[in-house]
Amino acid sequence: MVIASVPEIEQFIAAQPVIDTHEHTFSEADRRQKPLDLLSTEMHHYVGSDLVSAGMTPDEQALMYDRSRDPADRWDVFLSYWKYARTTGYAKALHIACRDLFGVDDLMSAAPSLDGYRRVNEQLTASQQHEAWYRYILRERGNIVLAIPDVQSTQVDKTLFAPAIRFDSFVSVGSRAGVSALERQTAQTIYDLDDLVSALGVAFAKAKEEGMVTVKSGLAYRRILQYDNVPRAAAEQVFAQVVAGTRAQGGGMTQDGLTFTECKPLQDYMLHQVVRLCIEHEIPMQIHTGLHAGNGNVITNSNPTHLVNLFIQYPQARFDIFHAGYPYQSELATLAKNFQNVYVDLCWVHIISPYVARATLHEWLETIPHNKIFGFGGDYGPVELAYGHSVMARENIARVLSEKVEEGLYSEDQARIVGARLLHDNANEFFGLGQENLVQ
């Protein structure tokens, strides 16, 4: 048997079309209109969090993002913390984007130049005149044939994107103002719990008709992922207080929205209704687990093991569990191994830690049937950084598959099949995207 070398596997993976399971892509029309700047627009997504983690103060962050200030002053503030953060995965994605797309290659050096910063900004501004910049970056440079954006809109370029939609506002509604917002959104009158469930159904059906391919839940940023099977009467009692715009406190009533503890029975009940609609409409559900974007949150809320009761109760549902559950990637592997309806996603992880992404993929390929693994989701607003992330993902996947071949665990043909599945075919089949399968 001929064993493929690392370069051969790298070349194969580098040439594979990719389906990107998760993005937050800015509207291209909006991008053309707003000022673009490396220190505010492009860097803000993720790298800014590392700078804050390194010690950047709110005042320094405000100065760095303020385009009215002297560029040299802004760059100096950036460099004060970049020297600590420039070796992270977030930094690497930014470096790749600047190097490959704008020809500026010194960002990872000990002292990247102010001139390089200015040259990137000039090219960002020039790119706004490009009639099909997104197509150029995603298709021509990244070979990303389709991406699933989480931008709370179905009005996207369907030749490049297949939208995910959130119904978190129906789940987390906790005030009269929140009910009114849902009434405006759905053109439905909401008096009681039945009306809320009906309005959710209307919004769900409309989103599917407009091209939604998956539901996304991001509630782990605000609450624990334990969604109990709540009796309808308990949820109805809570929602009656929400609709009334009052809550009991002491001996009287207050006009504030309900607390999370008070609202949890309603939220749990409504999340179950979302899952049931996913089953009814044959739409999969993506769930944020693990690390939170930004700085400061309760990571234990996001442990994917909190979702076990949903996996058990709804075997007909299909769950795409995000971000490898990081740092609970082994727990997630156990869930995917045990539950037929649980799929695992490396979106975001290649930039959280390239090493962890490789180690996780090694573990998963030895633990989980490989048709249940999604290899890449950029999880970025700027398409340039999604491109940078895709380069890192290809490098990681190629390296892991090469090691499997060199160890004698995979043949060259097996590595090719698995690579095509990780990058394209698994997502194509799971989301029903209608792309041509690569695996023969």
Distance in angstroms between the alpha carbons of the first and the last residue of the chain: 20
Q: What is the pLDDT of residue 438?
A: 77
126-131 contacts: CB < 8 A, separation 24 or more?
127/36, 128/31, 128/32, 128/36
Residue pLDDT, tens place only, 387-434 = 999 999 999 999 999 999 999 999 999 999 999 999 999 999 999 999
In order, the DSSP letters of 67-105 are TTS-HHHHHHHHHHHHHHHTTSHHHHHHHHHHHHHH---
| In contact, 199 and 182? CB cutoff 8 Å | yes
Rounded Cα gap, residues 137 and 48, in angstroms: 23
Residues 6+ apart with CB under 8 A from 252: none
Rounded Cα gap, residues 439 and 72, in angstroms: 51
Average pLDDT score, the chain: 94
Q: What is the pLDDT of residue 256?
A: 59
**Scanning the structure block, which residue is given the tokens 């303020």?**
66
Encoded tokens for 265: 């029975």
Residue pLDDT, tens place only, 286-328 = 999 999 999 999 999 999 999 999 999 999 999 999 999 999 9
Q: In Å, what is the CA distance from 248 to each residue of 175, 244, 252?
A: 13, 11, 6
pLDDT at residue 1 is higher than 50: no
